[in-house]
Structure 1
Amino acid sequence: MRTIRIGTRSSQLALWQANTVAKQLEHLGHTIEIVKIDSIGDKVLDKPLYELGITGVFTKNLDIALLNEKIDISVNSFKDVPTKLPEGIVQAAVLKRGDFNDVLILKEDENFFTKKSAIIATGSLRRKAQWLYRYPNHTITGLRGNVNTRLQKLEDNNWDGAIFAMAGLKRLKLLPSNEKHIKLDWMIPAPAQGAVMISTLAKDEELLEICSELNDEKTAICVKIERKFLEVLEGGCTAPIGALAMIWDDVIKFKGVLFSPDGKNKIEFYKEVEVDNATDLGEYAANYILERGGKKLMRKIIVIDKDINVYSTKNLSLNQQKSLSPKIGVSMSDFIVTRSNRLKSVIVKKTIENVIITSQNAVDALLDSFIPTELNFKNIYCVGKRTKRLIERKIGKVTHVENSAEKLANYLVKNVEEKEITYFCGNKRRTELPTILSGSNITLHEIECYQTQLTPRKVEDKYDGILFYSPTGIESYLKKNTSNKSVAFCIGDTTASYAKKHFEKVVVAKIPSVESLLKSVNEYFQ
């Protein structure tokens, strides 16, 4: 019987992976030899690199050793493997996936979240972009080296925390106590994070058959989708890309996301499909993101101005952009972003009799801190039909809905017997609701579950119209711009009232929706 030579780097984590594979193969009755490979050059090869199909930045020492038949199989963290393998090398198996989450290791404790600024360490562009999207006032500092080296750097520097892959820390038994780490389950992991891949030569049918016994089918399906998503999006560019596919009851739930490197913008995709219909899900998701402005996030493109140009203070979908007249050019960016606050579990430890939710942002923020089964709300009152649909899809039945906070407050005054209500709101919540309720001797517990933050940027003077979706969006716009002579197109009356203080010409959408706002732009410039 042949001895199977497993090629691996000599780092602690790489050796854990190699030894895990070795144990599984030995359990099947095979003889194993671990071969450490950290440096290999042209002099040990029988053929030049280009003849072996290894070129450019993707040159890997293990690939070279494999093609030169110095080893029989190589073992790698799958997230570190290029989406295109060198010619002659194939994926032989994927082990059952470990923990795919990222984790924040704390220097002291999590009290720094209450402060305006903090310093977080990571060497990952993906982690940096996602962290800055959520915490734009924080500073990101670079972090390199193996796991032990990075943990030591955290100890030696004046940082508040550092981000790691949960799987690596668990595998090396280096994960600190619960008080010293926070699982970042809101952060979308790198494609194939937590998975280990075995590769071998395409011509070695015997090894392919042997390794197939180690393959975890569900993991293989999921990481294939994630890596296809990465492959289509990359296009030779390095970009902050996250992807996660999971299988639940023969249904694949996939989320893919692309961020701008500075963390100011993101484009997200989510879809649930049956496993049998998911063969092109990764490619479909990547093209969806590219069509919604993904190319602009990854690289500069030439923008052709038209006779009429407008600027949207919120990113529009591809279909929304297409609804504008062909003679109107549109540029866009998010001038406000929402960040979920970290809520303590004691908030939902017991059943809450009456709850108010006035925005979809509050729903998302609650679900960032808790799973639906933890939210024991007896009566839920909300504002807006879209918010109602989101609540009933993700949390539970809505007792009553109104189309404005003022109307909801008046309804509650007349119809709620229990004079104590919990209001999950943002930092820029409307004052009508708490004013009316407090004036009627109703005790209102306000829990700030998210923050609306301004992300202003300078806009050129060439635009004939500026599209606004909230008073806060106007506030953000005016931080770096003047009202000049542009027309302010506003989604509703409240936004328009604020705009009239600063703009000479204000146009209000007939219905408070993005589609109606865009229709008003077309009608104005027809």
Structure 2
Amino acid sequence: MKKTVRIGTRGSRLALWQANHVAACLEQAGIMTEIVVITTTGDLVLDRSLDKIGAKGVFTEELEIGLRTGHVDIAVHSAKDVQSSIPADLELLAFMEREQVNDVVVSFQTDLNLHKPGLVLGTSSTRRKAMLKRFLPNTTTAEARGNLQTRLRKLEEGQYDALVLAYAGVHRMEYDSLIRHILPETQFVPATGQGSVAIECARSLESELKLELQRILDHGPTHICLAAERAFLRTMEGGCSIPSFALATLTTAGTVQLHGGLISLDGNNCLKKYSQLQLPMLMRLVYKWPRKY
């Protein structure tokens, strides 16, 4: 294939890691690539929490404009940042193999005690804030916006005792040595899509190219699980600014187990739903229906 695939991405180090990972996979398959950095609203507005910015797709909207105009061929997102409903002229082409899904506590304090009263934990996630209030009520949360390196600088300056982050980003940026606690996913159920990289494109992209990109980038088991999680998220018309959670896993019995729910902002109320879905039905959903998840 002679076409150079233009990859749209945000400009943070983590976003560029993801884009370069996609590029490496494509180039290994003989496809030339070019990385195009696009700044999103979520990158520019750092003085407000995500739930107060007011718009869905704060990390994806400008990238989607690039897809529509042909400025880029594909856009690379953290799957957890993708809004619940995709515009009709766009589609989620692939979900790459998922990393470990857990939230982790990162700190420069080697003996960090999560049960110490008054511990200040930095996070920008409404879900994490609510869960911390529920499961670690003696801690205090503080807003922590910005890319990972900015948050770590604030941590080093003493603005927080620790940060609560997704393991995937910490691991990909090689900060594993700062992980003090891995929070159990049975309590701190992750956000929809956490740990996976999503590939979005315009529906008008050449069909032959789409099929080739899917073949190289899409991880079937991850796609099935994220389709289930995103179907749950869509019922609440939510995105990364609401305190929802969903985690789907494949079972040896040939089903998908979905654990999803919603937690109140104060952490006092938590609605959970467990579902078992037959795998053949989900495979039809993923591989035969239009990819609008």
- TM-score grouping bracket, smaller chain normalisation: 0.7 to 0.9
Give the distance between the partners of 1:139 and 1:101, measured in 2 at CA.
20
Q: 1:145 to 1:112 in 2, by over 3 A?
A: same
Matched with 2:228 is: 225
Matched with 1:267 is: 271
Matched with 1:47 is: none
Matched with 1:188 is: 189
Provide Cα deviations, 1:113-132, integer angstroms capped at 9, x if missing partner: 45333221111100011111
Alignment of 1:487-526 (within 5 A): none
Q: 1:29 to 1:87 in 2, by over 3 A?
A: same
Matched with 2:214 is: 212
Q: 1:268 to 1:12 in 2, by over 3 A?
A: same
Q: 1:110 to 1:258 in 2, by over 3 A?
A: farther
Structure 1 segments unaligned to the other structure (5+ residues): 41-55, 282-526
Give the distance between the partners of 1:235 and 1:2, measured in 2 at CA.
36
Structure 2 segments unaligned to the other structure (5+ residues): 42-54, 286-293
Give the distance between the partners of 1:16 and 1:8, measured in 2 at CA.
10
Q: 1:223 to 1:88 in 2, by over 3 A?
A: same
CA contact (8 A) 1:94 1:216 kept: yes
CA contact (8 A) 1:239 1:259 kept: no
Q: 1:235 to 1:77 in 2, by over 3 A?
A: closer
Higher deviation after alignment, 96-105 or 250-259: 250-259
Give the distance between the partners of 2:239 and 2:71, measured in 1 at CA.
30
Matched with 2:116 is: 115
Matched with 2:144 is: 143
Alignment of 1:184-333 (within 5 A): 184-185=183-184, 186-204=187-205, 205-213=207-215, 214-234=217-237, 238-249=241-252, 250-277=254-281
Give the distance between the partners of 1:236 and 1:242, measured in 2 at CA.
10
Identity of aligned residues (%): 36
CA contact (8 A) 2:89 2:203 kept: yes
Provide Cα deviations, 1:338-358, integer angstroms capped at 9, x if missing partner: xxxxxxxxxxxxxxxxxxxxx
Give the distance between the partners of 2:81 and 2:232, measured in 1 at CA.
15
Give the distance between the partners of 1:82 and 1:280, measured in 2 at CA.
23
Task: Name the SS of the counterpart of 2:195 in structure 1.
Answer: coil
Q: For 2:181, give the aligned amino acid.
A: I
Q: 1:148 to 1:39 in 2, by over 3 A?
A: closer
CA contact (8 A) 1:255 1:271 kept: yes
Q: 1:109 to 1:264 in 2, by over 3 A?
A: farther
Task: Name the SS of the counterpart of 1:176 in structure 2.
Answer: helix
Q: 1:4 to 1:278 in 2, by over 3 A?
A: closer
Task: Name the SS of the counterpart of 1:6 in structure 2.
Answer: strand
Give the distance between the partners of 1:143 and 1:149, measured in 2 at CA.
9
**Which of these two proteins has the greater Rg computed from alpha carbons?**
1
Task: Name the SS of the counterpart of 1:130 in structure 2.
Answer: helix
Q: 1:120 to 1:203 in 2, by over 3 A?
A: same
**How far off its partner does 1:225 sit?**
0.9
CA contact (8 A) 2:123 2:142 kept: yes
Task: Name the SS of the counterpart of 2:177 in structure 1.
Answer: coil
Give the distance between the partners of 1:207 and 1:5, measured in 2 at CA.
12
Q: For 1:228, give the aligned amino acid.
A: A
Q: For 2:8, give the aligned amino acid.
A: G
**How far off its partner does 1:87 sit?**
3.0
Give the distance between the partners of 1:244 and 1:237, measured in 2 at CA.
14
**How far off its partner does 1:159 sit?**
3.0
Give the distance between the partners of 1:14 and 1:158, measured in 2 at CA.
25
**How far off its partner does 1:220 sit?**
0.6
Q: For 2:172, give the aligned amino acid.
A: R
Alignment of 1:423-434 (within 5 A): none
CA contact (8 A) 1:16 1:171 kept: yes
**How far off its partner does 1:142 sit?**
1.0
Task: Name the SS of the counterpart of 1:234 in structure 2.
Answer: coil
Give the distance between the partners of 1:263 and 1:148, measured in 2 at CA.
29
Alignment of 1:454-465 (within 5 A): none
Give the distance between the partners of 1:30 and 1:72, measured in 2 at CA.
13
**How far off its partner does 1:110 sit?**
4.6
Give the distance between the partners of 2:112 and 2:57, measured in 1 at CA.
42
Matched with 1:61 is: 62
CA contact (8 A) 2:115 2:138 kept: no
Task: Name the SS of the counterpart of 1:112 in structure 2.
Answer: coil
Task: Name the SS of the counterpart of 2:35 in structure 1.
Answer: strand
Provide Cα deviations, 1:394-433, integer angstroms capped at 9, x if missing partner: xxxxxxxxxxxxxxxxxxxxxxxxxxxxxxxxxxxxxxxx
Q: For 2:273, give the aligned amino acid.
A: F
Give the distance between the partners of 2:230 and 2:31, measured in 1 at CA.
31
Relative to the length of structure 2, the TM-score reads 0.83
Q: 1:123 to 1:217 in 2, by over 3 A?
A: same
Structure 1: 4+ residue segments shifted above 6 A: none
Provide Cα deviations, 1:302-335, integer angstroms capped at 9, x if missing partner: xxxxxxxxxxxxxxxxxxxxxxxxxxxxxxxxxx
Matched with 2:83 is: 82
Q: 1:121 to 1:206 in 2, by over 3 A?
A: same
CA contact (8 A) 1:107 1:159 kept: no
Give the distance between the partners of 1:280 and 1:158, measured in 2 at CA.
49
Q: For 1:7, give the aligned amino acid.
A: G
Task: Name the SS of the counterpart of 2:226 in structure 1.
Answer: helix
Give the distance between the partners of 2:113 and 2:24, measured in 1 at CA.
43
Provide Cα deviations, 1:427-450, integer angstroms capped at 9, x if missing partner: xxxxxxxxxxxxxxxxxxxxxxxx
Provide Cα deviations, 1:145-192, integer angstroms capped at 9, x if missing partner: 100111111111253321011100111112225xx5211123100000
CA contact (8 A) 2:81 2:240 kept: no
Matched with 1:446 is: none
**How far off its partner does 1:200 sit?**
1.2
